[in-house]
Amino acid sequence: MPPFRAEHMGSLLRPDDLLAVREKIRTQGLSEEEAGLPAVEEKSIAHVVKLQQDLGFKAVTSGEYNRTRFWGLMWDEFEGTIRLQDAEASMFRLYHPDVVSLIEQDRKVMPGDSVIAGDKLGHNPAKSVSNLHELRLVQKVVPESDWKNIKLTMITPAWFHMRYKQNKAWKEGVYANDKEYFQDVAKVYRAELKQLYDAGLRNVQFDDPGLAYFCSEKFRKGWEEDKDNVGSVDDLLGAYIELYNDCVRDLPEDFHTGVHLCRGNFIGGRHFAEGAYDIIAERLFRELKVNTFYLEYDTERSGGFEPLRFLPKDKYVVIGAISTKLRELEDKEEIKGRILKAAEFVAEGSGQSVEEALKRIAISPQCGFSTHESGYPLTEEDEKKKLRLVREIADEIWGEA
């Protein structure tokens, strides 16, 4: 069962022919079929699955090749959502880290797509197809006996809430408050997860930049100064933990769940958030009902391993110690030493030996290699070297998958 000793965060560098087809669709007004996208996607995903298998990774992904951005199209497929193009800046929390980075001040808009609830949210199996399509493309090239190891990444249920100002995640009159909105979001996620489970998925990783933003003093200060907000910033953290727990409450025991606290890996390798995990660790690790926490620990901006003392005995942590932003290869022995240091804090907090604690630890890159379809500083050869290093470290520490 996941997590495995060598993990990665899901997205991998797209091949040029896939990018070329998507560019054709954008610039020439072709349909996906006219541009030949289905065949190229299928071929590309078969290639990237083999790449992962050849490097010794068990939790293979699609590389997120079906997506333009890491959050995919899932929210667009929910009943009741509407997509806003270049939404007005007044809708957004202008202190939210990715909003700060992306907002176009001259035009006073948030570029690209934004999704809000234009009506009550619901789940329609005939319409919610992108995750299922992605899963089936990976299943097509993986033996059925290994389907349980396939990992699908999914955007946090709070993604289209945290960035918006109070009560702006829905059209006026649709919901009375956050509680009503979160109840429907959870219903939709439960239905989506059941649909995927019935199709054979047993391993989901929620990608959540927002949880990492709670570690940011800039974000916390911005929240406190925003007089439109209801409650404290820690009340919001608690509401998101409840939302997650509501989303996963009905999952079978053999469905592994994890959450990646992403600090951003946007075009050009930018990050969006800084701050140690200490301020949220105890509450997050003990209250959030997922199996595994995928934490970024590639630079000092994430703080030390001390917060891992709060990791309960029945939960796992994947240490994201290898950078996907820098081409330089990390020193293997230094990283091995850091993993052992992390194990000391896990052991201290749970009353275990370091050897026992190591059984609840794995290693990975800190983030995906291509959370947007283009614009990253690494080549595929760099990517392979990084993944090979993860596998080697896992073999030398644990000697198992």
Residue 114 has pLDDT above 70, yes or no: yes
CA 119 – CA 267 distance, rounded (Å): 33
Least confident of 182-196, 268-282, 364-378: 268-282
The residue ranges of every structural domain in the chain are 120-397
CA 380 – CA 387 distance, rounded (Å): 10
Residue 371 has pLDDT above 90, yes or no: no
pLDDT digits (tens, 9 = 90+) for 45-62: 999 999 999 999 999 999
Structure tokens at 222: 């911005």
Structure tokens at 93: 């929390």
Q: Is 73 left (phi over 0), alpha (psi -120 to 50) or beta?
A: alpha
pTM above 0.75, yes or no: yes
With pLDDT > 90 as the criterion, what percentage of the chain qualifies? 86
pLDDT at 293: 98
Q: How far is CA 364 from CA 43, 250, 287, 328, 386, in A?
A: 26, 28, 24, 16, 9
Q: Which CATH architecture has domain 120-397?
A: Alpha-Beta Barrel (3.20)
Mean pLDDT of 304-331: 96
With pLDDT > 70 as the criterion, what percentage of the chain qualifies? 96
